[in-house]
Structures are given as C-alpha cells and as structure tokens.
C-alpha cells in the first residue's frame, strides 16, 4: 500500500492494515487515520520540507517514522543540483528549493538502524517522460507521491499495489492534473488499485 496524506476511505484503511508493505510520506499524517504497519517513509529531502524534518526531533519521534525500516529520499541530489541554475532564472523565488538534506537523512538512518534509499534520477526522468504523454502545463517537479509510486512499481513489479490518501491537489509547482491521468492509466492497466473516498468527502490533498 502507498498511503498519501489525504482522506483515507474505510476500504483503504482495511487494505493498509492487511498490507505486507506500507509506504507513507514525510510526517506520516495518514498514520492516525489508517493505522497499521509503516515500512518506508518517502521524504522530500530538499528545500524547506527536508530542512524541517531533519532539524526537528519531533519528526524522528513520529510513530510512522519510528516504525519504518526504510527512509526513501525521493529527490536525487545530482538531479536537483543540476536544476538549481535553471530554477534561479525561471523561479527565482525558489532559491532554497534545491538545498539538499540527503546526508542528514542518511546520518539519521545510520544512527537508528534504518535502510537509507535514494530514488535515482532515472526514476524521476522516467516519470517526467510518462507525464509528457498528458501534455501538462509547465511545472517544476513531479510530486513526492508520484515519484514514490514509480519507485514502488519498480521495486515490486509483481505485487498487487494499492493506493489511498491521494487527492492529486496541492502546490502549483506539481502537475497534479497530469499526475492523476497517469495514475489512472496505471489503474486501467492493472498496475495499481485505488481505494478512493466518496467524492463528497474527497476534499483533502494528496502526498
């Protein structure tokens, strides 16, 4: 199961509780609403989110973070170092967007005995290519959630993979319309199963 930070349906909660591997995100805000195991926490390891998590003792103490055996850094440092100069021109307000905290996450993992994973840039590049089929408006980067979906599909090619807590909405720098279309195509192909909330309740954001 890949559990975003949005509303989780009852069916999604049951699926999460029964899953053999559960991925959550950043502060694991889905944990209280969909308890059960947490095996990996996919984190945004650059910019303000990366800084906030690595500097906060409270993040380390979160139940989902404590439970997880792996921390996934979804932003390859090489990829984001190369993005810094172009972003300084196109989005000067994002001057700290590419600041990298991967080494701090690695040190945390070494300290507490967790596996540290960096999602390689080839995954990010493949996601960008897949999104291009849906002709998105110009965007900065895919969301943490979509990169984690791609990494999960890569790691578990033969598993039944469920998706819950994704609203595909949020920061305007992510191409959420195209992301939803791409995820819907994975569902149509049988690669993912979506456990969605009823439309009247689905007002929260995804990962």
Q: Tens digit of pLDDT for each residue in 64-94?
A: 999 999 999 999 999 999 999 999 999 999 9
For residue 167, the model assigns a pLDDT of 87
For residue 207, the model assigns a pLDDT of 54
For residue 35, the model assigns a pLDDT of 77
CA distances from 118 to 33, 44, 104, 197 (A): 28, 11, 12, 31
Q: For residue 4, how many other CB atoms are within 10 A of its CB? A: 28
CA distances from 88 to 94, 128, 140 (A): 7, 20, 12
For residue 3, the model assigns a pLDDT of 96
d(CA 115, CA 65): 12
Kindly tell me if the per-residue pLDDT of 19 is higher than 50.
Answer: yes
CA torsion sign for 102, 25, 157, 186 is negative
Q: In this predicted model, what pLDDT tens digit does every residue of 136-162 receive, in sequence order?
A: 999 999 999 999 999 999 999 999 999
For residue 181, the model assigns a pLDDT of 97
Kindly tell me if the per-residue pLDDT of 201 is higher than 50.
Answer: no
d(CA 23, CA 152): 9
- SS3 track for 171-187: CCCCCHHHHHHHHHHHH
Question: pTM of the full predicted structure?
Answer: 0.92
Q: In this predicted model, what pLDDT tens digit does every residue of 85-118 receive, in sequence order?
A: 999 999 999 999 999 999 999 999 999 999 999 9
pLDDT tier, 26 (very low <50, low <70, confident <90, very high otherwise): very high
d(CA 132, CA 137): 10
Query: Which carries the bigger pLDDT value, residue 192 or residue 201?
Result: 192
């Amino acid at each position: 199961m890949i559990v975003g930070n949005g509303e989780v349906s009852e069916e999604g909660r049951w699926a999460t509780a029964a899953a053999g591997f559960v991925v959550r995100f950043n502060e694991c805000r889905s944990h209280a609403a969909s308890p059960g195991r947490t095996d990996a926490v996919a984190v945004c390891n650059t910019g303000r989110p990366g800084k906030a998590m690595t500097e906060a003792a409270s993040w380390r103490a979160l139940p989902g973070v404590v439970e997880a055996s792996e921390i996934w850094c979804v932003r390859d440092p090489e990829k984001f170092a190369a993005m810094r100069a172009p972003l300084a021109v196109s989005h000067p307000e994002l001057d700290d967007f590419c600041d990298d905290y991967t080494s701090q996450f690695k040190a945390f993992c070494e300290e507490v005995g967790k596996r540290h994973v960096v999602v390689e840039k080839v995954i990010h590049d493949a996601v960008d290519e897949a999104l291009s089929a849906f002709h998105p408006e110009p965007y900065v980067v895919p969301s943490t959630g979509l990169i984690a979906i791609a990494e999960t599909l890569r790691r578990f090619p033969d598993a039944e993979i469920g998706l819950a807590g994704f609203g595909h909405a949020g920061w305007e720098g992510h191409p959420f319309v195209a992301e939803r279309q791409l995820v819907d195509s994975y569902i149509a192909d049988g690669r993912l199963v979506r456990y969605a909330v009823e439309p009247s309740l689905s007002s929260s954001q995804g990962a």
